[in-house]
Structure 1
Amino acid sequence: MIERPLLLVDVDGVLNPLGASLPGFTPHECVVDGQVYRVQLNTAHGPALLRLAEETGAELVWATTWEHAANEWIGPRIGLPELPVIEMPLPGLPGGPPPSGYGEMFKTPHVAAYVGGRPFVWFDDHTWEPDEAYLRDRPGIGEFLLVRVDARAGLTEADLAGAREWLSARQG
């Protein structure tokens, strides 16, 4: 049985653009562990991600430091169901990643451990060449596409189209 590819989704900088308010985005206040966060979300993102997953046979997964709070505060506001979560303890905390020497973002080892050999697309605003190198050099990591979302604009149709094209080319 061939496992479904994964669509990994970050929140801040991807679904919640950083900086000025943008047309189509609505501000929200979320309280996580007593901390108030102000986010701006676009209700078109949820249906667009669901459509991409359905068209490509992929599984949506949260890849964000919001972790399980994304299912409570972000998903319902943009029309996403509860999604699996890649847990991402911050560096220096128990379960956090050790330094690797690649210079990758702290999330990347957690993503590598989660995806196994499944192909995946990762929407994030902080993935760079060291993250690609880290993933390429890990045994058992399947094909992947890192979509570097512009944190000022958030997830765009062009980002989704690139992921759709990449995933469709692998459908057999």
Structure 2
Amino acid sequence: MTGSARGPLLFLDVDGPLIPFGATGQQYPIHATDPGPGAAAANPLLTRIDPEHGTRLKSLPCEIVWATTWMADANECICPRIGLPELAVVIWPGPSDLDDQDERDGLHWKTRTLVDRAAGRPFAWVDDEVTDTDRAWVAVHHPGPALLRRVDARLGLTDDDYAALDSWLRQPS
């Protein structure tokens, strides 16, 4: 259903979920894939992205949307590596448009924008920075179902994460 305007959305972050980082003393596997054009060849962390993520993501019954500070660079640098088509991209507000009170209250700076972008549609958000504060805020401010899945940045998306996403995304809304 990748690219479809029907069904739930999957807001996908890059750093953490697709590019694991932060484990002390751990050597991450290197995945030899075609680096693609431009910036993709210049970023050595891209070799940490398991190309199987593309197949697994495409099998999920949802519309995948990049929810990352990589923004449009995710289409250029990551999609070709893992076999995804170009995806929609969330455009983030500028720093002056963010609510300082949200930060003081512990709400992630992405949360409001993702709820606005979902516009009532069911959505899953995969990120390594999701907190219970975000979950509580979404439960109050989003009229549809939502799954906020925190991924361990040291591991990236795991079999358990994919199973949880697949199960949730297949539930009737």
Please indicate the TM-score interval, normalised by the length of the shorter structure.
0.7 to 0.9
What is the alpha-carbon distance in structure 2 between the residues aligned to residue 26 and residue 18 of structure 1? 18
3-state SS of the aligned residue for 1:137? helix
- Mapped to 1, the partners of 2:133 and 2:31 lie a distance apart of 32
Partner of 1:150: 152
Name which of 29, 48, 52 aligns with 1:44. 52
Structure 2-normalised TM-score?
0.81
**CA deviation map 1:47-94 (0-9, x unaligned):** 100011xxx2x111101111111111111111111000111245xx34
Query: 2:99 and 2:88 mapped to 1: Cα distance?
Result: 20
Equivalence map 1:56-135=2 (5 Å): 56=61, 58-89=62-93, 93-100=95-102, 102-135=105-138
1:61 partner SS: strand
In 1: Cα distance, 2:132 partner to 2:119 partner: 20
Is the 1:10–1:124 Cα contact (8 Å) retained in structure 2?
yes
Matched, 1:12 2:15: yes
AA matched with 1:162: A
Q: Where in structure 1 are there 5+ consecutive unaligned residues?
A: none
**Identical pairs, percent:** 39
Aligned counterpart, 2:163: 161
Structure 1 residue 3 displacement after superposition: 4.1
Per-residue deviation, 1:161: 0.6
- The answer to whether the Cα contact below 8 Å between 2:107 and 2:134 also exists between their aligned partners in 1 is yes
Paired with 1:160 and 1:9, the residues of 2 have a C-alpha distance of 12
Question: Aligned partners of 2:81, 2:39: CA distance in 1, in Å?
Answer: 14
> 2:52 is matched by which residue type in structure 1?
A
- Structure 2: stretches of 5+ with no match in the other structure: none
Structure 2 contact 124–149 (Cα < 8 Å) conserved: yes
Tell me, what secondary structure is at the counterpart of 1:22? coil
The CA RMSD measured in Å over matched residues stands at 2.5
Preserved contact between residue 6 and residue 63 of structure 2 (Cα < 8 Å): no
TM-score of the two chains, using structure 1 as the length reference: 0.81
Give the structure, 1 or 2, with the largest relative contact order (CA under 8 Å, sep 6 or more). 2
Number of aligned residues: 160
Give the number of the structure whose residues are more often strand, by fraction.
1
Moved more, 120-129 or 162-171: 162-171
Aligned residue for 1:155, secondary structure, equals: coil
